[in-house]
Structure 1
Amino acid sequence: MALAGQLAIVTGASRGIGRGIALQLGQAGATVYITGRKPDQSFNNKLGLCGLEETAEEITKRGGKGIARFVDHQNMDEVKNFFENIEKDHNGQLDILVNNAYQGVTAISENMGKPFYETDPYVWDTINNVGLRNHYFCTVYAARLMAARNKGLIVNVSSGGGIRYIFNVAYGVGKQALDRLSVDAAVELEKKNVCVVSIWPGAAKTELSSQKFPDENGTPKDGLANSMMFVNGETVEYPGKAIVALASDPKRMNKTGRILITEDLGREYGFVDIDGKTPPNLRSVNFILHHVGFPNIAKCIPNWVRLPGWAIWAGNGHL
């Protein structure tokens, strides 16, 4: 129970990576506030609970304390009120913030392959209101609490979309900006002993990817050539294990302002995924070649051959 007595917030934790992170924080003993939008009237399950409430119950079963709060992260008044209640209810304590809420998945899927100039420009707001603007607001409110206590950890769940074109223009700009938020906020919070990082999960086996990508036998769905990476990808709890390890590290300030890949943290801290496997590393030459369409060459490259971080992030100011 490495995080017993600590208070964490994970935004967007009804499902997917946010849920996995929240479960691992709870398993480590933390009190975890999880946020998500209030469900519509169509949801129904045997317990009469929505996904957010189910996640909170599972956190508690694992040894932590799960607390569900409905917050619309498009509405900054609701976000502000949520943090004010945290401050009031816990005497200003906040140890960990994980910015994970995201709204743009449907918009990205619906506009896949369409150039930005043929897309409704309001797709920018759909992708980056919750996925970037909200993260800035949450980071401001969390940093105020953490700076007052001279300790804390803020994690922005990002992706490689900040260094190369993925999906569309709005997505890439948003992810680059989110990584920049981590880098620059770390500069101003370093003297307050608050660690700020971006974390890049690999291809994750979320509920959505399980529907769209291959089955466990590797049969591709929708004719997607790169879909095999999800078969061998990480579970939604692997990023959570990475964040627990980072939060438990007394020397974590050495990593502030950096972009961290989940599998790099797995090797450094010595943990594997909940299925006992070690997922591919985004810096692996084997993984990169397979992803860009050279599977036969990829087979000839050992998994341990990786590009150095500076080669990936050169020109973006990320070290």
Structure 2
Amino acid sequence: MTADHKVAVVTGASRGAGRGIAVALGAAGWRVYITGRSDADSGRRTTIEATARAVTDAGGHGVAVRVDHADDSDVARLFARVAEESGRLDLLVNNAAAVHRDLTDPAPFWEKPIELGDVLDVGLRSGYVASWHAAPLLTESERGLIVFTSSPGSVCYMHGPAYGAQKAGIDKMVADMAVDFRGTGVSVVSIWMGILLTEKLRRAFDENPEALAKTAENAETPEFTGYLVNALYHDPELAELSGQTLIGAELAVTYGITDEGGRRPPSHREFFGSPRVPHPAVVR
């Protein structure tokens, strides 16, 4: 690893947004530690090893680490390994979340499995724990960044109360972490992603390519947020954004970033609402 080879940890990166973010960072030359439970022994089609290979193939260096983000000791071992192997950490992307298969079921929350509440553990608490372990490493670098992936579900009804509480908690946690990070050189932001063109979504349209093309007009590839994260890290005005919840599509306009095929994904602010702005009061 060269001295200018930046080091990132992307949690929950075996598939979906996490995989896309990790690969986009790889294309920008990052060394990326990819975490998740779906390893080569899990029997899953998508694995952390496959993502690590994709990161390396893109031009970076992918490192797969099996981590159960519900297990604090697993998380501690992850960051100890990063410190030992790389001696630094420049970026943490908190993306891991326990997303239940019945998340989008329109039934009221008490008629859905109680396990939907697990997202408050792996999704909210897990981001706090990962950030707690990452902070000492990040503050030792000249520049550090923590990014949480979020959504407008923090301000509107989306998929039920557990999902909404997790996203609202993320956005508020970002604002509060930024207060503690002041003067350290570490910034923290939350990014609202749009509809994601994941492999799962694409497969759902296997027999209807026209419908997929129509959906894609208003959607984002999983890599899109990764391009934004890389641009954020290198923004000389990054500290001014610390503590904020940012809409990815709007951030892309600021940085002049386009998605697959030169598309500009739309902001959904008008339909779902704007990020909440916390009061500036600080009570120690």
TM exceeds 0.5? yes
Q: CA RMSD in A?
A: 2.4
CA distance in 2, matches of 1:232, 1:104: 22
Match of 2:95 among 91, 100, 121: 100
Tell me, yes or no, if structure 1 residue 67 matches structure 2 residue 63. yes
List aligned pairs for 1:33-182, cutoff 5 A. 33-39=33-39, 40-43=41-44, 51-91=47-87, 93-109=88-104, 112-125=105-118, 127-149=119-141, 151-182=143-174
Q: Which amino acid aligns with 1:99?
A: N
Q: Is the 8 A contact 2:102 2:112 kept in 1?
A: no
Residue 278 (structure 1) aligns with:
264
Distance 1:313 1:64 in 2: 33
Structure 1 residues 74-126: Cα deviation after superposition (integer angstroms, max 9, x where no partner): 211101111111112222x10000001122241414xx12222334444312x
DSSP-derived class of the 1:275 partner: helix
CA distance in 1, matches of 2:57, 2:82: 22
Q: For the residues of structure 2 that align with 1:15 and 1:135, how far apart are their CA atoms? A: 18
Aligned mates of 1:18, 1:88 — CA distance in 2: 24
Q: Give SS of 1:237's match.
A: helix
Correspondence 1:146-295 to 2 at 5 A: 146-149=138-141, 151-212=143-204, 215-218=208-211, 229-230=215-216, 232-283=218-269, 285=270, 288=271
Q: Is the 8 A contact 1:35 1:71 kept in 2?
A: yes
Instruction: State which structure, 1 or 2, has the greater radius of gyration over its C-alpha atoms.
Output: 1
| TM-score (norm: length of structure 1) | 0.80
Matched, 1:313 2:275: yes
For these two proteins, the number of residue pairs brought into alignment is 276
Give percent identity, aligned residues only: 37
Output one character per residue of 1:172-219: Cα deviation in whole Å (capped at 9) or x when no partner: 011100111111001110211111000011111112222346843027
Change beyond 3 A, Cα 1:244–1:273: same
Partner of 1:224: none
Mean alpha-carbon deviation: is it higher for 229-238 or for 65-74? 229-238
Q: Is the 8 A contact 1:155 1:197 kept in 2?
A: yes
For the 8 Å contact 1:200–1:262, the answer to whether it is kept is yes
Which amino acid in 2 is paired with 1:27?
A
List per-residue Cα deviations over 1:142-176 (Å, max 9, x = no partner): 11211233530000001111001101111101110
2:29 alignment partner in structure 1: 29
Q: Secondary structure of the residue that 1:175 maps to in structure 2? A: helix
How many Å separate the matches in 1 of 2:143 and 2:42?
41
- Distance in 2 separating the partners of 1:60 and 1:153: 22
Distance (Å, rounded) in 2 between the aligned partners of 1:59 and 1:120: 35
Q: 1:41 to 1:241 in 2, by over 3 A?
A: closer
Counterparts of 1:210 and 1:318, CA distance in 2:
41
Cα distance, 1:259 vs structure 2: 0.7
Q: Structure 1 residues 150 and 213 mapped into 2: Cα distance closer, same or farther (>3 Å)?
A: same
